[in-house]
Structure 1
């Protein structure tokens, strides 16, 4: 068995300056298809008790009404924005202080890699290949799935520690540039083809 990780290319790797974030406040971003496995209500619950955190949800799907109901029930509608589907999510990723992946299951999520390529620190669940991508405490924080309190704690820590966010931003981007670029993915895939061909002959 050979593992070939997803690779990021194009505009996500463009060298763009990060926005100057204010200490004590945090713009959090979620990006994806709103379906049960993504557990977006967990993120809504986590941010409801963090008045310093603004949340933007980019994407749509069958769970949208449930997520909207969760926001209403949490009383945090003034701090939550629904951006809907976006063909080009890069501007949203670059504008965010942190990207949150709260899924119950993933493989090698492209949204996570795209966020890190843009220099956005991450809070992500320990599922699938995520721990192979994110180094806990270096590129962001890893939390257990289905645990909103752990998400809340990680976001609160990042909101309070601007130097840490900046350090994680640099580390996250470097991580993708060194290991998860599109060129590296192609090289790894060609290497698998070469080894397979050699064995067959």
Structure 2
């Protein structure tokens, strides 16, 4: 093995954002170690996800359903030439491909687990017990569910094979306890997300937010992310200059539109922005809100919105779910999940002494630089790569 190996990072689907953000953070950290890095992945919807930067250097292969997907696997195997294969998520299209490549090349495989994939289908309670007739339909019919490479049955198989990897990285304690390996929490590019480079008032003017006190959620709304609790809190406070700014909206469904129909007077919607513009957008916030509800999915997650706010020295209002209390330490504002009353109280507390809240935000940035920066990721990954 070379001192500075080449790493092939496999992403199961580059047509979504599900995996690319984690891959790009790992890429930056590995670059800091002097490694050569390539990102390779399938396009199941034929096009790159719109938020992936156009300048990103990627190798892609068109995905699809079985049996045609076997040809796609053969194509992508020929593109993998790294000394180490780094599979993002226990999916057939990433970890499964990596294990196949390992059989022929003997190259070591790392699997990265940044979500409990099976939790989206009910977790350990999910099972597949079809009749013989149903099994035949699921395999043989053109629209049979087992023709889909990311069916939960295959995810379950891949999770059972995680121990076949030469190394495992995770990014929350929940995932580490479940799958083992080394914890590599998501890092933030704290040189890009540096509050010293931005003027909050100018940013608020730029995005039409100058008249308001801004609670910002820089991500895609989903029911388990708890935005309804913030909006109920705003109903209780009934202060017209308080606004919840949602950046990007949901690429999955019309949930954000449902929120607007019910609570439109509190919501300002901003479009998606490229990664290099996001620090300027976050600079416009007075408070970053990450009101996760307590579900199997959220217990396994490290919400990137936390480090968006922390790195930009913003007060962060979040909930006691999963690793969030550990991530924020004593630098954030924490409430119980699903408690709009507590959220309303904390919003009042923050704005009663915004100077004190901003001082807490500065401590939050210091914590982010120390524990959740790209440099911190690189320091941990150094031992993983050296061992391989």
Deviations 1:119-147 (A, max 9, x none): 111001111221111124xx221111111
Partners of 1:44 and 1:70 within 8 A in 2 = no
Partners of 1:135 and 1:141 within 8 A in 2 = no
Cα shift at 1:14: 5.9
Which moves more between the two structures, 85-94 or 98-107? 85-94
Partners of 1:29 and 1:98 within 8 A in 2 = yes
* Distance (whole Å) between structure 2 residues aligned to residue 58 and residue 125 of structure 1: 20
1:51-200 → structure 2 map (5 Å cutoff)? 51=239, 52-61=241-250, 62=253, 63-72=255-264, 77=265, 79-87=266-274, 88-104=277-293, 105=298, 107-136=301-330, 139-194=331-386, 196-197=387-388
Partners of 1:56 and 1:83 within 8 A in 2 = yes
Partners of 1:140 and 1:168 within 8 A in 2 = yes
Larger C-alpha radius of gyration, 1 or 2?
A: 2
Partners of 2:249 and 2:272 within 8 A in 1 = yes
Cα shift at 1:67: 0.9
* Distance (whole Å) between structure 2 residues aligned to residue 99 and residue 16 of structure 1: 18
Cα shift at 1:53: 2.2
* Distance (whole Å) between structure 2 residues aligned to residue 174 and residue 53 of structure 1: 28
User: 1:19/1:85 Cα in 2 relative to 1: closer, same or farther (>3 Å)?
Assistant: closer
Cα shift at 1:13: 3.3
Which moves more between the two structures, 118-127 or 58-67? 58-67
* Distance (whole Å) between structure 2 residues aligned to residue 84 and residue 17 of structure 1: 20
Cα shift at 1:16: 2.5
Deviations 1:140-196 (A, max 9, x none): 2111111111111111100101231121121111111111110110111222333x4
* Distance (whole Å) between structure 2 residues aligned to residue 177 and residue 186 of structure 1: 13
Partners of 1:6 and 1:185 within 8 A in 2 = yes
Q: Aligned to 2:317, what secondary structure does the other structure show?
A: strand
RMSD (Å) for aligned C-alpha atoms: 2.2
User: 1:187/1:131 Cα in 2 relative to 1: closer, same or farther (>3 Å)?
Assistant: same
Partners of 1:34 and 1:60 within 8 A in 2 = yes
- Structure ranking higher on relative contact order (CA contacts 8 Å, 6+ apart): 1
Aligned to 1:3: 183
- Structure 1 residue runs of 5 or longer lacking an equivalent are none
Partners of 2:194 and 2:279 within 8 A in 1 = no
Q: Aligned to 1:15, what secondary structure does the other structure show?
A: helix
Cα shift at 1:92: 2.0
* Distance (whole Å) between structure 2 residues aligned to residue 167 and residue 86 of structure 1: 28
* Distance (whole Å) between structure 2 residues aligned to residue 53 and residue 121 of structure 1: 15
* Distance (whole Å) between structure 2 residues aligned to residue 26 and residue 176 of structure 1: 24
Q: Aligned to 1:142, what secondary structure does the other structure show?
A: strand
Q: Aligned to 1:12, what secondary structure does the other structure show?
A: coil
Aligned to 1:33: 220
* Distance (whole Å) between structure 1 residues aligned to residue 226 and residue 262 of structure 2: 11
Cα shift at 1:38: 1.3
* Distance (whole Å) between structure 1 residues aligned to residue 269 and residue 385 of structure 2: 43
